Amino acid sequence: MRTRSRPAITRRLAIGTALLASLAFAGPAQAAESVKIGLVTALSGQSAKSGEAISRGIGLAIDEINARGGVLGRPLELVARDDEANPSKGVLAARELIQRVGVVAVVGGLDTPVSMAIVPIANQMKVPFIGPWAAGTGITRNGAADNYAFRVSAVDALVDEALVAYAVKTYAAKKPGMILVNNAWGESNQQGLTAALKAANLPAAGIEKYEASDVDMVPQLTRLKEAGADTLFLVGNVGPSAQVVKSLDRMGWTVPVVSHWGPAGGRFDELAGPSAAKVHFIQTFTFAGNASPKASAVLDALKKKYPAIKSMADVTPAVGIANAYDATHLLALAITAAGATEGPKVRDAFYKVGRYEGLIKTYDNPFAPGQHDALGPQDYVFTRFQNGEIVAVTN
């Protein structure tokens, strides 16, 4: 009996292994390569709860889209990076996601300074940037001839008009003051509030700034009090906003506070104490008291996907979930309309998105050249904290 040589056996084994490997990679044909969406947001620090909300909203939308076959016959996949609320880290993350991971779009997270730093990169590399939170006016209204920035969120210029109107209607404000974070977001709102007060023919008692790391705002608030401020407009994220409230408590000043949505981004009610409930702040969505079938269905799906969600307080801030959920569905519709994943084609396809029954509202042609914001003042609601939940204010 003739025996095979060891080299011959080795060659046959190698060929067999190669065939198995090629079959594994060639089939099944249905195992299409995923379409990757990049997320750059704060996933650690004081705003981690907001970053988590954005991630959950995107994750839930991706599950729904993939259950229907994905986009272009391919599943969607989320690739997330933590920017730690740092613009430099946000830029590095965005570049890595675009150049190395090959994402079809970048979803930008929480902070206006980070988003403002990423937008020029998106425009330069011709990859759509979708904002589900940061409200800085210049994010979408960035002056670029070839603009790739879109947003499903609030816009400072419009929010500021709403803040002024609310202060006048609710508190009969005649001489409001501003207490603003000293960064690009604060600057955006200083411009917006100044313009809104001028349009309402109201004087400003004063404009005070603070650093995000400040823990005592009594000096700034004292100047506003002495200037006769009868209402305060507050712009800041969770930690600094809580310090403003605690400083007011130390002063014994019970002036009404009308805020941008920064307090919604985390444990504001815990950090600020009992007076947190007195702060009224703007949102684009709340689950609490929302009887729409879509809201109920999404809340049920969230509880099923994320068992840690036990009550309404566990979906705070709901605005992060809702904005990100709708933004992801609108992005998927744009990719489908484009019939491709190349950035310029997807960007142009945003203008082709027609009707979508979303969580926040039903969108009808939400984007057009020169109009890259899907939400407006009619979509804003004023809220406050109550027993750990964000609830709509009832006047």
- CATH of residue 89: 3.40.50.2300
From the list 219, 112, 201, the residue with the least C-alpha distance to 165 is 201
List Cβ neighbours of 158 (8 Å cut-off, separation of 6 or more).
376, 377, 380
Asked whether residue 252 is assigned to any structural domain, the reply reads yes
User: Same domain, yes or no, for 246 and 219?
Assistant: yes
Asked whether residue 388 is assigned to any structural domain, the reply reads no
Q: Which of 46-50, 161-165, 221-225 has the lowest mean pLDDT?
A: 46-50
Q: What distance in Å separates the CA atoms of residue 32 and residue 73, rounded to the nearest whole number?
A: 7
User: Same domain, yes or no, for 86 and 167?
Assistant: no
Asked whether residue 13 is assigned to any structural domain, the reply reads no
- pLDDT above 60: residue 26: no
Going by the DSSP 8-state scheme, the letter that residue 97 receives in this structure is I
Q: What distance in Å separates the CA atoms of residue 294 and residue 25, rounded to the nearest whole number?
A: 40
User: Same domain, yes or no, for 161 and 259?
Assistant: yes
Asked whether residue 186 is assigned to any structural domain, the reply reads yes
Across the range 333-356, mean pLDDT stands at 98
Q: What is the pTM of this model?
A: 0.84
Mean pLDDT of all residues belonging to the chain: 90
- 313-337: pLDDT as tens digits: 788 789 999 999 999 999 999 999 9
Alpha-carbon dihedral 41, 363, 297, 281, rounded to 10 degrees? 60
Cα distances (angstroms) measured from residue 289 to each of 160, 162, 266, 393: 25, 22, 20, 11
User: Same domain, yes or no, for 166 and 271?
Assistant: yes
How open is the CA angle 89-95-96, to the nearest 5 degrees?
A: 90
Across the range 261-283, mean pLDDT stands at 91
| Banded pLDDT at 21 (limits 50, 70, 90) | very low
Q: What are the residue ranges of helices labelled H in 4-68? A: 6-26, 48-67
Question: Residue 250, class by beta-carbon neighbours within 10 Å (0-12 exposed, 13-18 middle, 19+ buried)?
Answer: exposed
Give the 3-state secondary structure of residue 226: helix
- Looking at 223, 250, 283, which one is the last position of a domain? 283
- pLDDT above 70: residue 240: yes
pLDDT at position 19 is 38
Asked whether residue 28 is assigned to any structural domain, the reply reads no
Asked whether residue 19 is assigned to any structural domain, the reply reads no
- 181 has which bridge partners? 210
User: Same domain, yes or no, for 278 and 166?
Assistant: yes
Q: Which of 1-5, 72-76, 175-179 has the lowest mean pLDDT?
A: 1-5
Straight-line distance from the first to the last Cα atom of the chain, in angstroms, rounded to the nearest whole number: 98
Q: Which domain holds residue 299?
A: 35-154+291-376
Which two three-digit tokens encode residue 169? 């209607």
From the list 165, 209, 161, 181, the residue with the least C-alpha distance to 110 is 181
User: Same domain, yes or no, for 77 and 136?
Assistant: yes
- pLDDT above 50: residue 53: yes
- pLDDT above 60: residue 1: no
- 124-142: pLDDT as tens digits: 999 999 999 999 999 999 9
Which two three-digit tokens encode residue 391? 């609830």
pLDDT at position 31 is 63
User: Same domain, yes or no, for 277 and 164?
Assistant: yes
User: Same domain, yes or no, for 164 and 279?
Assistant: yes
- Domain total of the chain: 2
- pLDDT above 80: residue 109: no
User: Same domain, yes or no, for 309 and 257?
Assistant: no
- Looking at 257, 283, 309, which one is the last position of a domain? 283
- Looking at 283, 315, 342, which one is the last position of a domain? 283
Higher pLDDT, 65 or 5: 65
Asked whether residue 389 is assigned to any structural domain, the reply reads no
User: Same domain, yes or no, for 102 and 130?
Assistant: yes
| Banded pLDDT at 25 (limits 50, 70, 90) | very low
User: Same domain, yes or no, for 136 and 52?
Assistant: yes
Asked whether residue 255 is assigned to any structural domain, the reply reads yes
pLDDT at position 4 is 46
List Cβ neighbours of 123 (8 Å cut-off, separation of 6 or more).
142, 144, 146, 147, 148, 149
- pLDDT above 50: residue 12: no
- 289-300: pLDDT as tens digits: 888 999 999 999
**Preceding omega of 28 cis (within 30 degrees of 0):** yes
User: Same domain, yes or no, for 141 and 185?
Assistant: no
- 302-318: pLDDT as tens digits: 999 999 888 777 887 89
Q: How many CA atoms lie within 13 A of 294 on its CB side?
A: 13
Tell how strand 381-386 and strand 280-283 pair up.
antiparallel
